[in-house]
Amino acid sequence: MKENSQITGPYVIGLDLGGTNSVFGIVDAKGDIRKTTAIKTTGFKCARDYVIACIEALKPVIEEVGGIQSIKAMGIGAPNGNYYRGTIEYAPNLPWAHDEVVPLAEMFSHELGIPVALTNDANAAAIGEMTYGVARGMKNFIVLTLGTGVGSGIVVNGKLLYGSNGFAGELGHVIVRHENGRSCGCGRKGCLETYCSATGVARTAREILESDPRPSLLRQLDPQKITSLDVSLAAERNDAIALEIYRFTGHLLGEACADFAAFSAPEAFIFFGGMTKAGDLIMNPIKEGYEEHVLPLFKDMRFLVSGLEGSSAAVLGASAVGWELLNN
């Protein structure tokens, strides 16, 4: 295409490596995604096969933007990603990285001949917010990703907090209920994720439908099949039970944020993921839960919804990890 032959970069490849799809974007320095491509993440016997398939998918789009010379780096956001080591480690939802440590950054770097950085998906979201989103100009903030699980990226003094082993910021697994806590996939009980993930919201829905006798649109559904999307749709229609589910979820999340504030004194919490589409229906209970539980020292707090919502958010976040590599 003529238009593309004029493109010279510099660009960075962003890879949003999800449990189902792997989405690539070729991103310019302004944060515009110039080209995208995608493959399924699953169906590969080993990480090597996955990387080969990725390279095959990338080749034509790389050519379209002027060849590999115009690409300066690659950034990957992946579950259980370790920034220090450039690895994916024991990722429960990735068959080819389930029981092992996969040096994915090195594998891509070897194939493409460019530097590659990898971090976990929530950290990529935090870097994306700082580079292109609502956290521009902020030095201290926490991103919470509310999806199948609850992830977090913590920024301190303008830098992602990785800690001693690269795994800092596992706030989805902070224990928020010490008595009768819900069982978590991690093997423990009472983790934040068991309440505030999409799965947690569905579970809360089933519990409240059983204990609260009020009528609800949700009663038309098979309780075992209720999803957080069902709750969201009912809440939008002012369904009392759905609103109660959000109230419970938001209060608990706000309460957890009060403890997180005592840790790193951020200037804002930024929420990312499907649940934030509910807007004030979830954000107001979060603020209420926070205000009820926070130390006066941390009263002044901003609660924001990601400025990068949509399918491109995670790709932009991943690309920002690549740009960061060039700037350090």
- Min CB(310)–its own copies separation in Å: 28
Q: Segment 129-158, which members bind its own copies (CB under 8 A)?
A: 139-140, 154, 156-157
Is residue 211 involved in binding its own copies (CB under 8 A)? no
Is residue 99 involved in binding its own copies (CB under 8 A)? no
Helix, strand, or coil here: 306?
coil
Tokens encoding 275? 């649940």
Can you name the residues that pair with 78 across neighbouring β-strands?
120
Is residue 176 involved in binding its own copies (CB under 8 A)? yes
4 — phi, psi (to 5°)? Answer: -75, -30
Whole-Å CA distances, 180 to 94, 189, 190, 241: 30, 8, 7, 22
Helix, strand, or coil here: 39?
strand
- Min CB(293)–its own copies separation in Å: 7
Q: Which stretch binds its own copies (CB under 8 A): 118-126, 129-137, 176-184, 277-285?
A: 176-184
- Min CB(232)–its own copies separation in Å: 26
Can you name the residues that pair with 119 across neighbouring β-strands?
77
Q: Going by C-beta distance under 8 Å and a sequence separation of 6 or more, which residues neighbour residue 187?
A: none
Count of residues that interact with its own copies, criterion CB under 8 A: 43
Contact (Cβ atoms closer than 8 angstroms) between residue 8 and residue 318:
no
Q: Among 163, 212, 236, 277, indicate the residue that binds its own copies (CB under 8 A).
A: 163
CA atoms of 18 and 216, how far apart (whole Å): 34
C-beta of 106 vs 267, nearer to its own copies: 267
Contact (Cβ atoms closer than 8 angstroms) between residue 74 and residue 50:
no
Is residue 164 involved in binding its own copies (CB under 8 A)? yes
Q: Among 31, 100, 101, 177, indicate the residue that binds its own copies (CB under 8 A).
A: 177
C-beta of 170 vs 239, nearer to its own copies: 170
C-beta of 66 vs 169, nearer to its own copies: 169
- Min CB(252)–its own copies separation in Å: 9
* Residue indicated by tokens 């993921």: 273
Q: Segment 214-243, which members bind its own copies (CB under 8 A)?
A: none
166 — phi, psi (to 5°)? Answer: 85, 0
Contact residues toward its own copies (CB under 8 A) are: 139-140, 154, 156-157, 159, 161-171, 173-179, 186-188, 255, 258-260, 262-267, 293, 295-298, 300
